[in-house]
């Protein structure tokens, strides 16, 4: 396969290099297109009306990669549509330094890049590894490579990505498919004071302040399991739309005839 590799930690991050090495050793052709610096927490944001600067980067095996002064989603988009020299079969985003579990997946640049690829119709993986004093990047690379090899067997619908999270201490090598932990977040901020006595607020990760749903990605990850969750980009909620469309039409400001007459006077 021809794989587009991106991330949110930057083109020189150890996670990207480990994924690159594992994917190329598995026989895949890899084009790396990643931010020129860390872009964590960028979610699915993109740049409009500004030029993206692209620079050539030599990858560990001497092949050509690209650094982009944009967001992870920018990298996925420009990588697939402009920088890749041949059609892309799969987009892999990662390997991120720390997990992207539960509600925090909404903010992740790693997931955002994969969402952008999925929204364009490309098969996409987001891969993250729990932060630890000595991350086993080689093992994480093997997980990413195996997920890439198996992706086509999963029959994932167009527009849906697979979010893979690897715990620091794996208790069972068997992967498990799980939903996101989407319990309401109860605590967002740590509050303290600076040297001048002013209050300051630091936002915590959602998984640190919400209750844990049994069987969710947070639950299983804390138990040492490698979790996989299918995620989709923002789209119309069909059930909600159907319910609202079945309701009677409400006219803002009075009767339908009155509103139409008022509108006609404005022209």
Distances, alpha carbon 51 to alpha carbons 46, 68, 161, 228, in Å: 12, 10, 28, 35
Q: Residues 74, 120: contact at Cβ < 8 Å?
A: no
Confirm whether 185 is domain-assigned: no
Does 242 map to a domain? no
Per-residue model confidence as pLDDT tens digits over 189-215: 678 888 888 888 776 665 555 678 888
In a domain, 263, yes or no: no
d(CA 35, CA 9): 7
3-state secondary structure of 180: coil
Tell me whether residue 9 is in a domain: yes
Cα separation of 252 and 266, whole Å? Answer: 16
CA–CA dist 117, 93 (Å, integer): 10
Domain for residue 198, yes or no? Answer: no
Domain for residue 187, yes or no?
Answer: no
pLDDT tens sequence across 88-134: 999 999 999 999 998 889 889 999 999 999 999 999 999 999 999 98
Angle subtended by helix axes 14-25 and 137-150, to nearest 10:
50
Q: Where are the alpha helices (DSSP H) in the chain?
A: 14-25, 72-78, 109-119, 137-150, 206-209, 217-222, 238-245, 256-265
Q: How far apart are CA 261 and CA 104, in angstroms?
A: 49
pLDDT digits (tens, 9 = 90+) for 134-171: 889 999 999 999 999 999 999 998 999 999 999 999 99
| Total domains, the chain | 1
C-alpha 187: how far from chain center = 23
Structural domain contains residue 85: yes
Q: Which domain holds residue 60?
A: 2-180+213-237
CATH number at residue 76: 3.40.1210.10
Residue labelled with tokens 């992740």: 108
CA distance 132 to 100: 14
Grade residue 247 by pLDDT with cuts at 50, 70 and 90.
Answer: low
267 pLDDT exceeds 50? no
Whether residue 227 lies inside any domain: the answer is yes
pLDDT given at position 12: 94
pLDDT at residue 162 in the model: 94
Q: In what order do the strands lie in the sheet with 2-6?
A: 54-58, 64-68, 29-35, 2-6, 90-97, 124-129, 161-166, 225-231, 172-177
pLDDT of 47-93, one tens digit each? 888 899 999 999 988 889 999 999 999 999 999 999 999 999 999 99
């Amino acid at each position: 396969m021809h794989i587009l590799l991106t991330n949110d930690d930057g083109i020189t991050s150890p996670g990207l290099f480990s994924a690159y090495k594992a994917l190329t050793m598995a026989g895949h052709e890899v084009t790396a297109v990643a931010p020129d610096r860390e872009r964590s927490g960028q979610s699915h944001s993109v740049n409009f009306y500004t030029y993206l600067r692209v620079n050539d980067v030599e990858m560990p095996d001497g092949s050509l990669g690209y650094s982009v002064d944009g967001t992870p989603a920018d990298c996925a988009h420009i990588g697939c549509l402009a920088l890749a020299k041949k059609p892309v079969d799969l987009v892999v985003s990662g390997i991120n330094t720390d997990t992207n579990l539960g509600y925090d997946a909404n903010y992740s640049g790693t997931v955002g890049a994969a969402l952008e690829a999925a929204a364009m119709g490309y098969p996409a993986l987001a891969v993250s590894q729990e932060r630890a004093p000595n991350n086993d990047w080689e093992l994480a690379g093997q997980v990413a490579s195996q997920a890439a090899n198996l992706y086509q067997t999963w029959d994932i619908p167009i527009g849906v990505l697979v979010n893979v999270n690897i715990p620091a201490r794996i208790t069972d090598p068997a992967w498990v498919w799980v939903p996101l932990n989407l319990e309401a977040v109860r605590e967002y901020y740590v509050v303290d004071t600076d040297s001048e006595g002013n209050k300051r607020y630091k936002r915590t990760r959602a998984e640190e302040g919400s209750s844990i749903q049994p069987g969710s990605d947070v639950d299983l990850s804390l138990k040492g399991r490698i979790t996989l969750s299918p995620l989709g980009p923002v789209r119309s909620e069909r059930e909600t739309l159907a319910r609202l469309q079945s309701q009677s039409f409400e006219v803002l400001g009075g009767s339908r005839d009155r509103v139409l007459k008022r509108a006609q006077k404005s022209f």
